[in-house]
Amino acid sequence: MEEAKKKKVMFIINPISGVYKKKNIPEKVARYIDYVKYDYTIRFTQYAGHATLIAQQAVHEGYEVCVAVGGDGSINEVAQSLVGTDTALGIIPYGSGNGFATHLKIPPRDAKGALDVLNTGKTVKLDLIKSNLRYIVSNAGFGIDSSVARRFHHHGIRGLASYGWAVVKELLFYFQPFHAKVEIDDVTIEREFFLFTAFNANQYGYDYAVFPFTSMKDGVMDVIVMTRFPVWKLPYIVACLIGKRSDLIKEAEAYRAKKIKIHGHKKMVYQFDGDSIIHHDDITLEAVPQCINVIVPENLNAY
């Protein structure tokens, strides 16, 4: 009987991103990876965007799996090169916000648990959001979250509590609602936006979700739109958001969309998978159905 061919897997580690130490990841990989199933290589990134290049080379060299070690930002970089290829995305979640991995029930900051998923999991095809700039794995938009992402670009924010505090500070001292015109499929809205976010994955990161559930295989984005509101309403709105009852907020609307166009102007700041992006022209977002192979837990059914 012929032995099953081993799969080549590339681990891509950004040694300096995020706030959690990834120094011992190579040791954990050596200890817990299934040597019957995999031959592995580890590469460390040296600059922003390097992970995209490493993943592209891995695809050319016939690697069957590329593993992003990090948060949504690291997954974003690796995913750019895997869309439409046979190479599957694996994830060892080590970011501060792990929206994509949490949606897929891959345990955060638990290298052994995540390696178990690689060893025993199944490969499924998932949707991504395609913009005119890059692919988005988790969520993208503008408003309070993009303002916070921009201000804290160079700081690590640990967990929901400090992220929450950063949002409150932004609200009280700096935040100006964005005036914008947005087309959501056939609906056009123009107003002062507090928040506009299109979701592929359910989670915002920091273990927080706006919607009770969104699907990464239904070919549509779930969109939350919030108009500016008076400051005295803030406690009520925060309570609704924490309770995942955005339907109780008069200033919030939910949409499901295949295509979005955001009319750009000089003052716009966006966030793509938690990274701040400044872009003055129009931004288009489009749900691309089942365009990337991802390794998920064997028993994951709703995703």
B/e letters for 104-132, b = 16+ CB within 10 Å, e = fewer, are: bebbbbebeebbbbbbebeebebbbbbbe
Segment lying near Mg ion (by CB under 5 A), choices 30-38, 64-72, 115-123, 212-220 = 212-220
Residue 254 touching Mg ion (CB under 5 A):
no
CB of 138 to Mg ion, least distance (A): 11
Contact 72, 271 (CB under 8 A): no
Minimum CB separation of residue 62 from Mg ion in Å reads 31
Nearer to Mg ion, 69 or 225 (CB): 225
Nearest residue (CB) to Mg ion, 244 versus 250: 244
| CA dihedral (144, 175, 135, 97) positive or negative | negative
Q: Looking at beta carbons only, is 45 or 246 nearer to Mg ion? A: 246
Region of 108-116, 213-221, 231-239, 266-274 interacting with Mg ion (CB under 5 A): 213-221
Closest to 87 measured CA to CA, from 290, 287, 292? 292
Residue 220 or 237: the one with the smaller Cβ distance to Mg ion is 220
Binding region for Mg ion (CB under 5 A) out of 6-14, 143-151, 205-213, 216-224: 216-224
How far apart are alpha carbons 79 and 223 in whole angstroms?
Answer: 22
Q: How far apart are CA 93 and CA 72, in angstroms?
A: 8
Parallel/antiparallel/unpaired status of strands 65-70 and 88-93: parallel
298 binds Mg ion per the rule CB under 5 A: no
Rounded to whole angstroms, how far apart are CA atoms 202 and 198? 10
According to DSSP, residue 135 is labeled E
Q: Is 218 in the site for Mg ion (CB under 5 A)?
A: yes
Name which of 92 and 220 has its Cβ closer to Mg ion.
Answer: 220
Q: Which one of 56, 215, 276, 290 is in contact with Mg ion (CB under 5 A)?
A: 215
Q: Which residues bind Mg ion (CB under 5 A)?
A: 215, 218, 220
